[in-house]
Structure 1
């Protein structure tokens, strides 16, 4: 039974109206405000910042009404334990890798990131619909989608745009010049890469890498459609449709083939869900619209970009070698893995240790950086990899019958990880959106608990 709403006082009664709850504001500021944090140089460290008030709220709830966890959380908890245990393996050398290439700092950073995302998931899941309406979360993700599309155009038309973020001025010299940290804190619009034999600008703003941009735009378009197309109306709906259509240009120029397939899989999922609900005419109309869009795309200059990308696989050999090395490393330590990534002794092009003038792509490719599956395999072994995948698979299975737009959007968000994990590393932002989706699904089927609105009684996810 839903908790009774606080009655509004009659005019002139002299009883103050209860203020709107502000508990869920960290989620809104984190997601909708992410472009600001990126511009300040905080980027993914913004998750750490907002995890502090979220954790404080979770502690308060644990002491008062109790803390809830999603079904199957023990699998995710075991994964966190495995990440901590794996730190003991970091000092060890992995056969056929560069000695001493495993860094304890990077491994510890990864553990902290997983813990921060756990706090985010528990925070969203423990808040009631009144404290953090689902529509507010969807709105925040939709705003972030628009910012990502705008960042894509910035990367296309101003590919060398960059600036020194305020945070960079505060970093010590050694950290400020670290290449990896520079990628995290230095705002730039695009990655300039040689794929076709000449420099190509691949959009990435407001994210760290082009691949992360592709993964994020794929996830966030789901929420733009859910919040502003399916549940919107009038001008909002048409504006969202226009934004989704406008995303095609930066999506093509990102040259992310996995993204292209991921968007196609999302369309197939949407079509199957519509057929399941008996909306045959809608599916037919959307199929005609997609076919028309493909014909227009084929007649546009964007088609040449797609054909050139298909003719230039570029990183396929390096990815295949790195992925095979991840599997081999996991077979050597199948239970706990090696704690973190390592560097290959040689590469797919040569056994040379390090790049040379004749072979700039030779040597010391990072094992595991080609996808979330591969980085988890080398860091946590087969056993450690099974835990998070089982947790997410159980979440999908448990909520497979959800019918609300937000519920189906959340389900698709989780499902997409099982595609992108072969190509993109999900940590940090893509996995954050996935954890928010898990929390919405879990919260949507939760029964009433003390201090919590009964979401199920009010219609589930809205």
Structure 2
């Protein structure tokens, strides 16, 4: 199953890169926005119907021999929310997860897509589209609060810091200050609506930090027993009910495919960032920040179900970067105007000196 998943993701990447005429820039940007909206909708479904599950799907066609397998059954009938009832709490934690199997999967998807949606908004030419996308970003706040997801917030912070630093290094100080001020307002808003309070409350009830640390240590130690090829799949832990080779793409690849396979995967993601480093405008930079976020959250969360989104973003950026003529991969109009003005002023100055 894992092999077919990775093979299908490679097909998605190659198709997006090559189908330039069929999948034009406008269509792909809309696709990113639609994917984000669908996952936000899943968050609201998880909030209002936490005990429900997605039953009426292709899973109904599964033969009994497959449907009776608990893992396969969960894949085809994912719950709308992950319900956690730790000992000692007054009420259980209802964490939205639809359309993913776990709440962390939902949080990772939102964390990866928020920078991409900002990039889509930056690429829009009309004010109405920009306003709708900003409202869509705001719409994700309630399920984000309900999810109490630390990795989601950390991923978004990484993306914002990355873009802010890139703008600062380019000398685009107005954009840099705009991000700083917007980030400060957004942070204050999230604190006021109780995001951090919910995270702290759940962490006090279920302290997963120490457990994850022990699991990561065991994963590393057991990976060294088969460092080249790994063990092929997660295996039971010696000390925890959670399987070794889970709780993060980094650890999953390391344990299942060895240090070689893990190295190749992150080399692939870093190669995309290096090749598209120029990112000549705000939209491209925010889309690139989504891949930065994916690389970061891969330390804590699995990315198996998120790779189609990552491949769509990567394929789009790569094809625009290497296209002979791309209306997308070029500086914003204002930057082009300033550049042309500077060139004209330089030429005028040279002409005046030559006359003198």
> Which residue is 1:173 aligned to?
64
The DSSP-based 3-state class of the residue aligned with 1:201 is strand
| Structure 1 equivalent of residue 245 of structure 2 | 368
1:460 shift after superposition: 4.9
Correspondence 1:439 to 2:299: no
Structure having the larger proportion of residues in helix: 2
The match for 1:221 among 95, 98, 114 is 114
* Cα separation, partners in 2 of 1:232 and 1:266, compared to 1, 3 Å: farther
Report the Cα distance in structure 1 between the residues aligned to 2:161 and 2:218, rounded to whole angstroms: 33
Deviation string for 1:39-80 (max 9, x for gaps)? Answer: xxxxxxxxxxxxxxxxxxxxxxxxxxxxxxxxxxxxxxxxxx
Question: How many angstroms apart in 2 are the aligned matches of 1:169 and 1:266?
Answer: 40
Distance in 2 (CA, whole Å) between partners of 1:443 and 1:269 is: 22
Deviation at 1:380, TM superposition (A): 1.2
Aligned with residue 307 of structure 1, among 193, 200, 207: 200
2:256 matched to 1:379?
yes
Does residue 401 in structure 1 map to residue 315 in structure 2? no
Change (3 A) 1:387 1:456: same
Query: Structure 2 vs 1, CA of residues 425 and 302 (structure 1 numbering), >3 Å: closer, same or farther?
Result: closer
Q: Which runs of 5+ in 1 are unaligned?
A: 1-108, 348-362, 447-454
Q: Report the counterpart of residue 422 of structure 1 in structure 2.
A: 299
On the 8 A contact 2:46/2:98 being kept in 1, the answer is yes
Instruction: Quote how far apart the aligned CAs of 1:257 are.
Output: 0.6
Out of 170, 183, 186, the position equivalent to 2:77 is 186
What is the Cα deviation at residue 201 of structure 1?
Answer: 0.6
Give the equivalent residue in structure 2 for 1:106: none
- Post-superposition shift, 1:422? 1.2
Contact 1:229–1:236 under 8 Å retained in 2? no
TM-score by length of 1: 0.66
Residue 138 (str. 1) matches residue 29 (str. 2): yes
Q: 1:142 Cα deviation (Å)?
A: 0.6
Give the Cα–Cα distance (whole angstroms) in 2 for the partners of residues 377 and 240 of structure 1: 37
Q: Displacement, 1:444?
A: 1.8
Between the aligned partners of 2:68 and 2:266, the Cα distance in structure 1 is: 36
Counterpart for residue 336 of structure 2: none
Structure 1 stretch displaced more, 265-274 or 302-311: 302-311
More RCO (CA 8 Å, sep 6+): 1
Q: CA deviation at 1:170?
A: 1.7
Evaluate the alpha carbon distance shift between residue 386 and residue 166 of structure 1 in structure 2; reply closer, same or farther with a 3 A threshold.
Answer: closer
Q: CA RMSD in A?
A: 2.2
**Preserved contact between residue 252 and residue 305 of structure 1 (Cα < 8 Å):** yes
Which of 100, 121, 126 is the matching residue for 2:13?
A: 121
CA displacement 1:221-248 (0-9 Å, x = unmatched): 2222122344252222112112212212
- Give 1:259 deviation, angstroms: 1.0
Deviations 1:294-317 (A, max 9, x none): 334333344531331353453223
- Going from structure 1 to structure 2, the CA distance change for 1:221 and 1:232 (only over 3 Å counts) comes to farther
Contact 1:229–1:241 (CA under 8 A) maintained in structure 2: no
- Counterpart of 1:212? 105
Deviation at 1:378, TM superposition (A): 1.0
Partner of 2:148 in structure 1? 255
Residue 151 in structure 1 maps to residue 42 in structure 2: yes
CA distance change for structure 1 residues 397 and 282 in 2, over 3 Å: closer, same or farther? closer
State the shift of 1:419 in Å.
Answer: 0.9
Alpha-carbon deviation of 1:337? 1.2
The 1-side partners of 2:189 and 2:313 are apart by 34
Cα shift at 1:163 = 4.5
2:301 counterpart SS class: coil
Q: Deviations over 1:144-201 (max 9, x none)?
A: 1112112212212221232422423221223223221222111432111125734111
